[in-house]
Amino acid sequence: MRAQPRASHFIGGEWIEDTDGAVIESVYPATGEVIARLHAATPAVIDRALAAASAAQKDWAARPPVERGRILRRAAELIRARNRALSVLETLDTGKPLQETLVADAASGANALEYFAGFAPTVTGQTIPLGRDMAYTLRESLGVCVGIGAWNYPIQIACWKAAPALAFGNAMVFKPSEVTPLSALALAEIFAEAGLPSGLFNVVQGDGACGAALIRDPRVAKVSLTGSVPTGRKVYAMAGEGIKAVTMELGGKSPLIVFEDADLDNAVGAAMLGNFYSSGQICSNGTRVFVHRDVREAFLERLAVRTARIVLGDPLDEATQMGPLVSEAQMARVLGYVAQGQAEGARLVCGGTRRGETGCFVTPTVFADVRDDMVIAREEIFGPVMAVLDFGTEDEVIARANATEYGLAAGVFTGDLARAHRVVAALEAGTCWINAYNLTPVEMPFGGVKASGVGRENGHAALEHYTRVKSVYLGLGDVDAPF
């Protein structure tokens, strides 16, 4: 299986290679095969990308927004036309089943491009009456934005950052995760074909050192990271040194609360979606499932039956519902957490093992009788491991749900909508679902509070994070100077 791109980087409309850079291998985690070999960006490559972005940005910002939108819409159409090829590429790079990548990855990237293509021409400033004088505001682009991606949703992350950045007149240098370097390059090629001028979307490969070099460069106005909290702390600090704008989409340990009056089948389905989709490698997963004591046994019974039916296996078979984890390292990490859960006395209801000797497959895992102080209830595992905890009262579960440094997402299942709104209002989370879980349409702002992040992606909220406001005071009379 080969998925070798034409070169490692895409800069200024051209494929660029510099074999002096360290080798990066993309591995298909279902088999361990190396599917592509690339090179990390050298300082010369990084400089070239930032120079190309800087050179292209001002002309782009000066174009009518409707023209910028037209190009993004064309890119969305090309993505949709090539959805299957892009999905296979994403499956090979991440191991996620084709059943998922066909509907959730490139397609959601196309949605973002369409949304921001339509949004850009609607952006206006304000006029501010001041008696004799007046003021007005201009919405300006920021300049060169750096996007840094995680490995769980590579093309979606690239689009969620590139779409608002480009729509509002910025240029982007995007660095995908070194674990999943491929689909961002395919996206760059699509942008070029859609007519995006050279230099506006550049892709450079590399690990954290490459990311850090990009963030520190004075040509960069803004950094948008999707990654873990420890990386977020470093990136935020580096951006802070340069007083640069940031968007931080970081990790979580989100609560999903199931009250005694919930529709139990829906709650079980949501808990499975929020723990097993993408083999559990989703930042907003509801990995602490709080179930009311009265329905706990019924919940666990139905959960065990449905979990046993999950089809785990070859990600390229469209009947497969769960693939491997992204890498050997991630598999080892997840199995380590399973062992820790057992050692701490949590009850293993199902799963918790590696499947087969080839590939990074871990069976869907459910722990019951989990206590708040256990490591599996506190740390982000990023694998198919659900922790079920029980609770008695609304006040108790709110306090326990909030007792974490994270605040990315939360879910509530109940038949009592007054209670649902009351609980959601009390939860410390950036994104909440009532009787649903993990749906992230581009129309809805997405992001975290507390250690889970700063800023929002998607929705109208993204405008704040890819533009700045210039105030213009207009004097319409004589200057009243006391001198």
Within 106-165, the residues that bind ligand NAD by CB under 6 A are: 148-153
**Residue 33 known to be catalytic:** no
For the CA atoms of 147, 151, 153, 156, what is the dihedral angle to 10 degrees? 20
* Placement of tokens 């095969």 in the chain: 33
Q: Which is nearer to ligand NAD, 212 or 436 (CB)?
A: 212
CB-based contacts of 454, cutoff 8 Å, min separation 6: 236, 246, 247, 248, 447
Which of 90, 178, 217, 390 is in the footprint of ligand NAD by CB under 6 A? 178
Q: Does 283 bind ligand NAD (CB under 6 A)?
A: yes
Segment interacting with ligand NAD (CB under 6 A) among 111-119, 174-182, 291-299, 394-402 = 174-182
Within 40-79, the residues that bind ligand NAD by CB under 6 A are: none
Q: Is residue 354 within 8 Å of residue 133, measured between CB atoms? A: no
Q: Which is nearer to ligand NAD, 47 or 261 (CB)?
A: 47
Q: Does 327 bind ligand NAD (CB under 6 A)?
A: no
Cα 334–Cα 338–Cα 344 angle in degrees, nearest 5: 140
Task: Please return the burial class of 237, using the count of CB atoms within 10 Å of its CB with bins 0-12, 13-18 and 19+.
Answer: exposed
**Residue 25 known to be catalytic:** no
Catalytic pick among 145, 210, 283, 360: 283
d(C-alpha 223, C-alpha 204), whole Å: 15
Q: Is residue 45 within 8 Å of residue 18, measured between CB atoms? A: yes
Q: Closest approach of Cβ 26 to ligand NAD, in Å?
A: 14
Which of 36, 38, 250, 429 is in the footprint of ligand NAD by CB under 6 A? 250
Q: List alpha helices for 363-481, DSSP H.
A: 375-378, 394-402, 417-426, 462-466
Q: Closest approach of Cβ 446 to ligand NAD, in Å?
A: 7
* Placement of tokens 């499975």 in the chain: 272
At 82, the amino acid letter reads R
d(C-alpha 153, C-alpha 183), whole Å: 10
**Residue 260 known to be catalytic:** no
Could you give the count of Cα atoms lying within 13 Å of 208 in the half-sphere of its Cβ? 9
Distance of CA 461 to the CA centre of its chain: 16
Nearest residue to 3 via CA among 244, 186, 211? 186
Which residues are paired to 33 by β-bridges?
Answer: 28
Within 185-224, the residues that bind ligand NAD by CB under 6 A are: 207-208, 211-212, 215
Segment interacting with ligand NAD (CB under 6 A) among 16-24, 66-74, 243-251, 263-271 = 243-251
Q: Closest approach of Cβ 93 to ligand NAD, in Å?
A: 13
Phi, psi of 289, rounded to the nearest 5 degrees: -95, 105
Q: Which residue is at the shortest CB distance from ligand NAD?
A: 211
Q: Which is nearer to ligand NAD, 40 or 374 (CB)?
A: 40
Nearest residue to 386 via CA among 258, 473, 481? 258
At 29, the amino acid letter reads P
Q: Does 29 bind ligand NAD (CB under 6 A)?
A: no
**Residue 301 known to be catalytic:** no
Q: Which is nearer to ligand NAD, 100 or 390 (CB)?
A: 100
For ligand NAD, what does the binding mask look like between residues 221 and 240, x meaning CB under 6 A?
-----xxx--x--xx-----
Reading the block at residue 272, the tokens are 């499975």
d(C-alpha 47, C-alpha 39), whole Å: 16
d(C-alpha 319, C-alpha 313), whole Å: 9
Q: Which is nearer to ligand NAD, 53 or 408 (CB)?
A: 408
Catalytic pick among 90, 114, 161, 350: 161
Q: Closest approach of Cβ 37 to ligand NAD, in Å?
A: 18
For ligand NAD, what does the binding mask look like between residues 372 and 391, x meaning CB under 6 A?
--------x-x---------
Q: Which is nearer to ligand NAD, 312 or 451 (CB)?
A: 451
Task: Point out the residues that are catalytic.
Answer: 161, 249, 283, 457
Instruction: List interacting residues with ligand NAD (CB under 6 A).
Output: 148-153, 175, 177-178, 207-208, 211-212, 215, 226-228, 231, 234-235, 249-252, 283, 380, 382, 408, 448, 453
